[in-house]
């Protein structure tokens, strides 16, 4: 297995693809890649539909998959707010690739059996597949899809993200094979001699204490531990330092516990969701996620230092688990709210990955939502850096 990642800032996209292709051919010693993963910045929206053909022609890849991007990550660098294309390619001996495109109305009903999901994603559970997934945020229910996929393929890793760069339906692009789509999800199941490790850094820290949701309606949070939610929030604000009060005003989130059976809750045990609004009269808080009574939640803050410390600790732990071995390649799905917006400097997360894990080929993009496994389940995250790290399966 060999991976390589290339980046081009050429403003003419066809020339940019050719430049990336030449770089990849050199890195892969002229071998034809089995897979090319491409991310194209929004500045090239007028020629999105030409991308699959151009990439296949420049790389000779057996399968092309990718999407539009608000920013791209390639050759270990993060490019924001300018034209760019990232192409990450791999030769994958003894690995089977099963591509699929899914529209929202094709999702099996809740509770459908394994066969329905195997037909949908065109792969058997017996083959032990992992999944690379790219979805359009305007037209596809990614959370419902992930829940069903987890049920059908519980041991398979799921990585990916929601396409970005557009502000309206049908303006993002998804690439698969020779086709470009404006809705749904594109994916590829990888099975055979391949493993995917996941590192998901949410970059938030809890404040206050975990609490039970004692009254709610859909995504309206009415009571926490028997008190009006807004009263709880006001009292929490009063306990914070002046520095945290400043962060509270613009970077406050609700964490929803991911594993109900835990007796103690720590940073990283919560799924981070936006606070959409508050109703002063009723004392309710609107959350960007469905709620249910008796679930455990905790408020969180996000800032650059917390995000950096969280990522550093997770990557250091992962690097230690490798016991000196080096992965073959990696893809990074990072939130649009990270990067320069959060840190004020470019290449923060990619530099930290290189420092901790090594000089592993790394591509990816800045997403509208990130897909990654935590505690053995796959979730759609926000504000995260979600790494999918590839290596061959260990010999028995």
**296 and 333, same structural domain?**
no
The pLDDT of residue 395 is above 60: no
Q: What is the mean pLDDT of residues 35-44?
A: 97
85 and 219: one domain?
no
Structural domain containing residue 171? 2-201+307-391
Rounded (to 5) percent helix, strand, coil in the chain: 30, 40, 35
| pLDDT above 70: percentage of residues in the chain | 97
In this structure, the chain runs to a length of: 396
pTM more than 0.85: yes
Q: What is the mean pLDDT of residues 189-195?
A: 96
Tokens of 16: 């940019």
Nearest to residue 230, comparing CAs of 244, 215, 246, 251? 215
Integer Cα distance of 180 and 178 in angstroms = 7
In a domain, 258, yes or no: yes
Q: What pLDDT band is residue 340 in, cutting at 50, 70 and 90? A: very high
Calpha distance 29→226 (Å, rounded) = 64
Whole-Å CA distances, 115 to 81, 108, 112, 282:
43, 10, 8, 46
Asked if 290 and 216 sit in the same domain, the reply is yes
159/29 same-domain check: yes
Is a pLDDT exceeding 80 seen at residue 230? yes
The β-bridge partners of 35 are 63, 90
Inform me whether the pLDDT recorded for 396 exceeds 80: no
In terms of domains, do 51 and 117 share one? yes
Residue where a domain terminates, one of 302, 330, 363: 302
CA nearest 206: which of 236, 250, 226, 186?
236
How confident is the model at residue 263, as a pLDDT? 57
Establish if 222 belongs to a structural domain. yes
Question: Residues 216, 341: one domain?
Answer: no
Q: What is the pLDDT of residues 74-130, one digit of tens each?
A: 999 999 999 999 999 999 999 999 999 999 999 999 888 999 999 999 999 999 999
Q: How far apart are CA 35 and CA 3, in angstroms?
A: 9
pLDDT tier, 203 (very low <50, low <70, confident <90, very high otherwise): confident
Last residue of a domain, one of 302, 325, 356: 302
Tell me what the pLDDT averaged over the chain comes to: 94
Domain match, 7 and 61 both: yes
User: Are residues 214 and 122 part of one domain?
Assistant: no
Is 60 exceeded by the pLDDT of residue 225?
Answer: yes
Strand 174-176 with 63-69, pairing = antiparallel
Confidence of residue 323 (pLDDT cuts 50, 70, 90): confident
Query: Would you state the pLDDT for residue 265?
Result: 64
At residue 262, the pLDDT reads: 60
Strands (E) in 95-146, as ranges, are 95-102, 130-135
- pLDDT at position 261: 61
What is the tally of structural domains in the chain? 2
Most confident of 17-26, 274-283, 285-294: 17-26
Residues 48, 81: Cα–Cα separation, whole Å: 17
- What integer pLDDT is reported at residue 242 of this predicted model? 95
Q: State the CB neighbour count (10 A cutoff) for residue 195.
A: 16
Q: What is the dihedral of CA 327, 328, 333, 339, to 10 degrees?
A: 80
Domain boundary among 271, 287, 302: 302
129-172: per-residue pLDDT in tens?
A: 999 999 999 999 999 999 999 999 999 999 999 999 999 999 99
Same domain, 42 and 63: yes
Query: Does residue 176 sit in the same domain as residue 211?
Result: no
pLDDT tens sequence across 283-299 = 899 998 899 999 999 99
The answer as to whether 170 is a domain residue is yes
138 and 217 together in one domain: no
Domain-located, residue 396: no
Other beta carbons within 10 angstroms of residue 208's beta carbon come to: 16
Q: Tell me: the pLDDT tens digits for 238-272?
A: 999 999 999 999 889 999 988 766 656 666 678 88
Give the mean pLDDT of 335-351: 93
- Cα–Cα distance measured from residue 79 to residue 68, given in angstroms and rounded to the nearest whole number: 13
Tokens (6 digits) for 239 = 């306990």
Are residues 287 and 152 both part of a single domain?
Answer: no
The mean pLDDT of 193-200, rounded to a whole number, is 96
pLDDT at 157: 97
Task: Give the residue-averaged pLDDT of 190-213.
Answer: 93
Question: Alpha-carbon dihedral of residues 279, 281, 283, 287, nearest 10 degrees?
Answer: -10
- Tens of pLDDT, residues 367-389: 999 999 988 889 999 889 999 99
């Amino acid at each position: 297995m060999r991976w390589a990642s290339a980046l081009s800032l050429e403003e003419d996209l066809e020339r940019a693809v050719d430049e990336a292709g030449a770089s990849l051919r050199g890195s892969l010693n002229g071998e034809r890649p089995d897979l090319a993963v491409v991310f194209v910045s929004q500045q090239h929206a007028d020629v999105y539909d030409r991308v699959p053909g151009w990439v296949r022609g420049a790389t000779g890849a057996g399968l092309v998959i990718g999407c539009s991007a608000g920013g791209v990550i390639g050759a270990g660098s993060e490019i924001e707010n300018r034209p760019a294309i990232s192409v990450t390619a791999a030769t994958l001996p003894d690995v089977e690739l099963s591509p699929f495109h899914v529209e929202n109305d094709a999702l099996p009903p809740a509770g459908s059996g394994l066969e329905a999901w195997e037909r949908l994603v065109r792969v058997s559970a017996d083959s032990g597949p992992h999944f690379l997934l790219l979805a359009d945020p305007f037209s596809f229910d990614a959370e419902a899809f992930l829940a069903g996929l987890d049920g059908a393929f519980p041991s398979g890793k799921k990585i990916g993200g929601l396409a970005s760069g557009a502000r309206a339906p049908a303006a993002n692009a998804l690439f698969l094979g020779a086709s470009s789509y404006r809705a749904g999800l594109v994916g590829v199941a990888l099975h055979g001699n391949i493993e995917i490790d996941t590192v998901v850094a949410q970059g938030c820290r809890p404040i206050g204490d975990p609490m039970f949701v004692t009254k709610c309606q859909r995504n309206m949070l009415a009571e926490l531990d028997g008190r009006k939610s807004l009263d709880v929030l006001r009292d929490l604000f009063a306990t914070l330092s002046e520095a945290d009060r400043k962060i509270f005003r613009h970077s406050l989130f609700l964490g929803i516990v991911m594993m109900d059976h835990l007796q103690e809750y720590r940073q990283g045990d919560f799924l981070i969701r936006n606070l959409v609004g508050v109703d002063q009269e009723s004392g309710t808080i609107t959350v960007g996620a469905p709620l249910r009574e008796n679930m455990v939640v905790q408020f969180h803050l996000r800032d650059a230092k917390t995000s950096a410390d969280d990522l550093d600790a997770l990557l250091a732990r992962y690097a230690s688990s490798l016991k000196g071995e080096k992965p073959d390649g990696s893809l990074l799905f990072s939130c649009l709210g990270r990067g320069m917006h959060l840190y004020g400097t470019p290449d923060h997360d990619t530099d930290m990955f290189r420092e901790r894990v090594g000089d592993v080929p790394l591509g990816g993009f800045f997403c509208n939502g990130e897909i990654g496994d935590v505690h053995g389940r796959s979730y759609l995250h926000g504000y995260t850096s979600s790494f999918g790290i590839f290596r061959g399966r260990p010999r028995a």
